[in-house]
Amino acid sequence: MIVGIDLGTTNSLIAYFTEEGPKIIPNRLGKNLTPSVVSVDEEGNVYVGETARERKSLYPDSVAETFKRSMGTERDYVLGGKHFKPEELSSLVLRSLKEDAEHYLGEEVTEAVISVPAYFDDKRRKATKRAGELAGLKVERMISEPTAAAVAYGLYDKTQDTRFLVFDLGGGTFDVSVLELYHNILEVRAVAGDNYLGGEDFTEVMARLFLQKAKLQLQNLSEKEQVRLYRQAEKAKYDISDRQQVTMSFLHGEEQIEETIQYKEYEEACEELLQKIREPVKKSLADAKLKLGDIDEVLLIGGATRLSIVRDFLIRLFRKFPDTRMNPDETVALGAAVQAAMKERRAEVREVILTDVCSFTLGTEVVVEYEEGRFEDGRFCPIIERNTVIPASHTERLYTVRDNQDKVRVRVLQGESRFARNNLYLGELEIDIPKGPKGQEAVDVTYTYDINSLLEVEVTVVSTGQKQKLIIKGQENQMTEEEIAKRMEELAYLKIQPRDFEENRLVLLRAERMYEEALGDRRKKLDRYITAFEAALKRGGHDEIEAAREELNEILEEED
């Protein structure tokens, strides 16, 4: 079975295709959203999702989150005394989703279509595929999040031509894509975005506002207090969406501090973030050679688009109300499931031709003459520019710059900087050329890029016709099967917790967290119910445990 997965910065989801259409698969707690949070304790026990997130309040050093922002980097996370790369933490989230799907469907899940931000570069896409492989999934196809959203919205069933902009603001990444539908072709016209902008930044602003009003310094708070502060700020940023002000309550030492934040204050404090949102919107429209008035529909995806501050800004920006028919948290996963059905060639899905664009410019390093007889090396020469519709093939003719030069080296780069050193290195090849005066010999460098992110680089010596080729697979896994097996073996010490005990672990962690935050009679009351639940767990009767858990949950809902 092939499933569709939205591996998100804040939350992840898994979906499959049914006769009635795509459907989200609930996790072991019966919820659609699985927080992209991982915790590992000193004994090697792994906690994923909501349980891991609750552990953060009690054991902040043992928890990692928002690691999607670091995909494709060498960032090192230390949990439970062990070291993890971002893709390894992502693989633990994917493994949890895979187990939930297999339990729900009653069959093995072997393959997945995973969505990635449209603005993810080559390294980040490779890291995402590695995460899937480490989780035991075959990942032959990825789909950009905005394209997945467009498919999920049912635009592939529309009969009229439509131009639309997909605005994707998740927990940690931001994408804007301009797409056009005509007949059964869904074409991406342009993409832009920011891999370091998302809902977490709006939480950060709320936390800073509170600290400012309370005259507190973040560095003077303990780790646990910082976790509590951001938990309250996360809640407040959504609560303020429904009213004109919000009151944040925070326990600092033995003192309960309350501060009221006005919507206008919050909006002003977020102005810099809103301006950062505006730039990719302008850039994507400019690259697509369109104006705001040319857009027929604006689609919102990503949990942060629920925020009133974001929606109000978008209504002012686009001068129209966005389409909010679907749950913004679930749209991408549903679209990935439709793509999985297309890959399986399911009869229920009318085949749609999905075209895409290069998210980043592809080019090579060259030497340029900036004055008569004076040269500067290390400059970037674009060959296929960003937002070129793919498949595409472009050729650039390059000449020798030294007398008796006998070789040309072509370094394949991806990025937008004028300087080669600032762009992403993908590979290189070298070809022999006949010696001669500078500028006499030339090579034609041809880049051919296709829908599967496969880049073919061909260098032809103009005078001799000699050719050299290099193929770079944008989504290929840099790890061999042996290396994957070895790393999976190295991670085998991790003890994945039995799914049947998840609800009990979660309620206990939540109760412990609330006990630490409480004072006086409230703390005594919580202690009484926690003790009763722990006693039921020791006795081990299924019905008794369930009843005690339900009772404790009711108390926690009242007190939280």
- pLDDT tens for 135-192 read 999 997 888 888 888 888 866 556 577 888 999 998 888 989 898 887 777 788 888 8
- CA dist., res. 502 & res. 27, Å (int): 10
Q: Residue 251, class by beta-carbon neighbours within 10 Å (0-12 exposed, 13-18 middle, 19+ buried)?
A: middle
Place of tokens 């070809």: 431
Helix residue spans in 153-222 (DSSP H): 199-214
Domain 199-271, what fold?
A: Actin; Chain A, domain 4 (3.90.640)
- CA dist., res. 359 & res. 193, Å (int): 10
- CA dist., res. 177 & res. 193, Å (int): 8
Going by DSSP bridges, is the β-strand pair 392-399/185-194 parallel, antiparallel, or unpaired?
Answer: unpaired
Chain centre distance of CA 72: 12
259 pLDDT more than 50: yes
Per-residue H/E/C for 437-480: CCCCCEEEEEEEECCCCEEEEEEEECCCCCEEEEEEECCCCCCC
Q: What pLDDT shows up at residue 543?
A: 84
- Indicate the class that CATH gives domain 2-197+273-357: alpha beta
> What is the separation, in whole angstroms, between the first and last Cα of the chain?
41
Q: What pLDDT shows up at residue 119?
A: 77
Cα–Cα distances (Å) from 60 to 52, 77, 79, 493, 559, in that order, read: 10, 13, 10, 22, 23
Q: What pLDDT shows up at residue 357?
A: 80
Mean pLDDT of 72-79: 92
Q: Is-catalytic flag, 371?
A: no
Mean pLDDT of 270-284: 93
CB-based contacts of 49: which residues, under 8 Å, 6+ apart?
A: 27, 29, 34, 35, 37, 93, 96
- pLDDT tens for 480-524 read 667 767 776 666 666 666 666 788 889 999 898 888 878 788 888
Model pTM? 0.78
- pLDDT tens for 237-253 read 999 977 789 999 988 88
Q: What pLDDT shows up at residue 158?
A: 62
CB 446 within 8 A of CB 468: no
CATH 2.60.34.10 fits 362-473, yes or no: yes
Q: What pLDDT shows up at residue 161?
A: 78
Q: What share of the chain is helix, strand, coil (3-state, %, to 5)?
A: 40, 30, 30
Q: What pLDDT shows up at residue 477?
A: 44
Q: Which one of 6, 50, 121, 517 is the catalytic residue?
A: 6
Q: Is-catalytic flag, 145?
A: yes
The token duo for 208 is 């800073």
Q: Which one of 145, 200, 365, 517 is the catalytic residue?
A: 145
DSSP 395-439: EEEEE--STT--EEEEEEEESS-SBGGGSEEEEEEEEE----STT
- CA dist., res. 389 & res. 373, Å (int): 38
Q: Which one of 122, 168, 201, 259 is the catalytic residue?
A: 168
3 state SS of 6: strand
Q: How confident is the model at residue 475 (pLDDT cuts 50, 70, 90)?
A: very low
Cα–Cα distances (Å) from 118 to 169, 211, 261, 393, in that order, read: 12, 35, 35, 21
CB-based contacts of 212: which residues, under 8 Å, 6+ apart?
A: none
- CA dist., res. 471 & res. 450, Å (int): 12
Mean pLDDT of 80-104: 94
Q: What pLDDT shows up at residue 476?
A: 44
CB-based contacts of 524: which residues, under 8 Å, 6+ apart?
A: none
CB 128 within 8 A of CB 431: no
Q: Which one of 68, 98, 126, 237 is the catalytic residue?
A: 68
Choice among 211-220, 346-355, 457-466, 474-483 with the minimum mean pLDDT: 474-483
Mean pLDDT of 48-66: 92
Q: At what angle do helices 122-134 and 86-105 cross, to 10 degrees?
A: 50
- pLDDT tens for 190-220 read 888 888 899 999 999 999 999 999 999 999 9
CB 238 within 8 A of CB 307: yes
Q: Which helix (H) or strand (E) holds 550?
A: helix 542-559
Q: What pLDDT shows up at residue 540?
A: 76
Among the listed residues 255, 202, 244, 248, the one whose alpha carbon sits nearest the alpha carbon of residue 229 = 248
Mean pLDDT of 76-98: 94
Place of tokens 């279509």: 113
Mean pLDDT of 129-136: 92
Q: Which helix (H) or strand (E) holds 98?
A: helix 86-105
